[in-house]
Amino acid sequence: MTDTTSNQMWGGRFAAGPDAIMEAINASIGFDKRLAAQDIAGSRAHAAMLAATGIISDSDAEAMREGLLTVLSEIEEGRFEFSTALEDIHMNVEARLKEVVGEPAGRLHTGRSRNDQVATDFKLWVRDQLDAAEAGLLSLIRALLVQAEAGADWVMPGFTHLQTAQPVTWGHHMMAYVEMFGRDLGRVRDARERMNECPLGAAALAGTSFPIDREMTAKALGFDRPAANSLDAVSDRDFALEFLGAASICAMHLSRFAEELVIWSSAQFRFVALSDRFSTGSSIMPQKKNPDAAELIRAKVGRIFGANVALMMVMKGLPLAYSKDMQEDKEQVFDAADNLMLALAAMDGMVRDMVPQRAALEAAAGAGFSTATDLADWLVRVLGMPFREAHHVTGSLVAMAERKGCDLPELSLEEMQSVHGEIDASVYDVLGVHNSVASRMSYGGTAPEQVRAQIARWKEILE
């Protein structure tokens, strides 16, 4: 049996409604009901504009606007019954509005289409997510600055290939993530500025013959301007793709940091202690404290990047203007936004709670011949040796220390001079890890003075 009443907005074009399968594939209310607040905001702005331009009466517009608030309160309070037969959030709201205010509801759709309506709703929703991402990133950056400032002169090993490379400071390492999340912040702000054009009034694809005021609706909804081309306005989903692109890069950064926290909190490293709030135990091993929050953050990039690829594939072959394929634009974005916000909040909490283990960091900083480059630089600077020769001499000294089972500062002067006779006692001034980091005074370097300068710069940026 078919339902002949389920698609009355199609008028008399179709003699029978879709069967259950068509209804299931065609309906989007199961997920686009998340756009309810944005849909109602857009409709209220549209109704006000229709009255201001004389297209409908003031009394009809007022009835619509008040009725829409009633519908919104029903949705927010969980009293609204969504209908799959009505397909989407737009028709569900309009049908209920008709029940609430009667005949004036039929005039609400004058001068617009579901095409520009959904583009407007979705833009408003994505804009809200960009604002939420900005707030989350700002909070995380501030948490990192607190960690950086507390440990601006704490030494720790720096790694390349996950092998000990050169000593750095804890503050310097934290500031590296400040820079990374700072770029994410820039991408979010840039995407928001570019997407802030209003599609409402583009109608189905060609605009409308009604004397609407698109500047008025754009301003009412917080947009900078109306979108300049009606075809583009209804078919554009770049704003969602830009959000997903920025979210993917941010999630990748979160994943990299999460990976370090997993490593650092292990018994083999003990660089940080994570709080109980962001750790779990084992069902069988009572000694375990698992960094589950970090591991789950590490996994989020897969679904967020997957959403980016999925929407790109939906959009890549579509001719202008609107196609029903574009109904598949929302679920992936909803999921990506939910998971990005969750990952940002979890990382923020972990950073605020984590306790760096200064003694363990310092002990590890001097291991693995981490000051070998300082020795090579000393040979160049003090003895005037070509760097390639200094590299060779230093390598020989590292090999000697390795055979003896000691670190470079533990070699005697006589042992060093057996490799190169001009080495003198002042070489020991550069071999300590604190001397090493203090010497890295180039702009952006790890010297505590430079780290504090970068912290001050970021504080000024945030203010």
Q: What is the pLDDT of residues 339-373, one digit of tens each?
A: 999 999 999 999 999 999 999 999 998 776 777 88
Comma-separated ranges of CATH 1.10.275.10 domains in the chain: 20-107
Residue 228 makes CB contacts below 8 A (sequence gap 6+) with 197
Residue 357 corresponds to which tokens in the numbers above? 């283990």
Mean pLDDT of 206-219: 97
Burial classification of residue 381, based on how many CB atoms lie within 10 Å of its CB (0-12 exposed, 13-18 middle, 19 or more buried): exposed
Determine if the peptide bond prior to 321 is cis (ω within 30°). yes
Residue of higher predicted confidence among 24 and 127: 127
Largest Cα–Cα separation, the chain: 101
The strand pairing partners of 157, in sequence order, are 167
**Which residue in 61, 68, 83, 62 sits closest to 36, CA to CA?**
68
Comma-separated ranges of CATH 1.10.40.30 domains in the chain: 368-431
Convert the pLDDT of each residue in 363-421 to its tens digit.
998 776 777 888 898 899 999 999 999 999 999 999 998 899 988 888 899 999 999 99
CA–CA distance, 227 with 214 (Å, rounded to integer)? 9
Residue 222 corresponds to which tokens in the numbers above? 């917080």
CATH architecture of the domain covering 20-107? Orthogonal Bundle (1.10)
Is pLDDT at 238 greater than 70 in this prediction? yes
Q: Which of 8-22, 110-124, 142-156, 349-363 has the lowest mean pLDDT?
A: 8-22
State pTM to two decimals.
0.88
Residue 2 — pLDDT band, cuts 50, 70, 90? very low
Angle among Cα 323, 324, 329 to the nearest 5 degrees reads 100
Angle among Cα 39, 222, 188 to the nearest 5 degrees reads 95
**Which residue in 206, 55, 215, 172 sits closest to 444, CA to CA?**
172
Is 434 known to be catalytic?
no
Is 282 known to be catalytic?
yes
Residue 156 corresponds to which tokens in the numbers above? 């720790």
The pLDDT value given to residue 17: 57
Mean pLDDT of 251-260: 97
Is pLDDT at 81 greater than 60 in this prediction? yes
Mean pLDDT of 16-45: 83
Residue 380 corresponds to which tokens in the numbers above? 């160049």
- CATH says 114-152+161-211+221-362 is which class? mainly alpha
Spot the catalytic one: 161, 209, 283, 442: 161
Q: Which of 7-16, 75-84, 193-202, 370-379 has the lowest mean pLDDT?
A: 7-16
- What is the chain's mean pLDDT, rounded? 91
CA–CA distance, 341 with 180 (Å, rounded to integer)? 17
Among the residues of 316-412, which ranges form H helices?
331-353, 358-365, 372-383, 387-404
Please give the share of the chain, as a percent, with pLDDT higher than 90. 73
Is pLDDT at 446 greater than 50 in this prediction? yes
Q: Which of 51-55, 147-151, 155-159, 285-289 has the lowest mean pLDDT?
A: 285-289
Is pLDDT at 133 greater than 90 in this prediction? yes
The pLDDT value given to residue 283: 57
Domain 368-431, CATH 1.25.50.10 — does that match? no
Comma-separated ranges of CATH 1.20.200.10 domains in the chain: 114-152+161-211+221-362
Q: How many CA atoms within 13 Å lie on the side-chain side of 270?
A: 9
Spot the catalytic one: 57, 73, 266, 282: 282
Is pLDDT at 8 greater than 80 in this prediction? no
The pLDDT value given to residue 15: 54
